[in-house]
């Protein structure tokens, strides 16, 4: 989880780290754009918009997920490239509103 946190902060260095819905999250210009939650067998990556995950069916096919979260194996954090795509997609949604 720490590795993914560090990667997120590399992508959005001005993000404010906050707690949202009981999990560490990253806020940009007042909007939550990502969250992480450690579980026993995975780290949950929460884009705070279910539509973000649907934008990348091929890249995310190997991960299990719920409506709201991507389940990332603890020993295989998301790559910086994939995190950047997910965050960019969330920022695009936020900027439309």
Is residue 50 within 8 Å of 66, Cβ to Cβ?
A: no
β-strands 70-73, 31-38 pairing: unpaired
**What DSSP assignment string belongs to 13-53?**
TTPEEEEETTEEEEEETTEEEEEEEE-SSEEEEE-S-HHHH
Per-residue pLDDT for the chain (97 aa), expressed as one digit of tens each?
Answer: 899 999 999 999 999 999 999 999 999 999 999 999 999 999 999 999 989 999 999 999 999 999 999 999 999 999 999 999 999 999 999 998 6
Could you tell me which residues come within 8 angstroms of residue 10 by beta carbon, excluding any fewer than 6 positions away? 80
β-strands 70-73, 16-20 pairing: unpaired
Strand partners, 91: none
Is residue 15 within 8 Å of 57, Cβ to Cβ?
A: no
Domains and CATH numbers, the chain: 2-88 (3.90.1150.200)
């Amino acid at each position: 989880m720490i590795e993914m946190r560090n990667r997120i902060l590399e992508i959005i260095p001005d993000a404010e780290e906050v707690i949202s819905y009981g999990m560490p999250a990253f806020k940009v210009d007042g909007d939550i754009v990502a969250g992480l939650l450690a579980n026993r067998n995975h780290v949950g990556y929460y884009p705070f918009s279910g539509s973000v995950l649907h934008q990348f069916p091929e890249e995310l096919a190997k991960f299990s997920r719920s409506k709201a979260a991507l389940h990332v194996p603890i020993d295989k954090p998301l790559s910086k490239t994939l995190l950047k795509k997910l965050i960019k997609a969330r920022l695009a949604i936020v900027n439309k509103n």
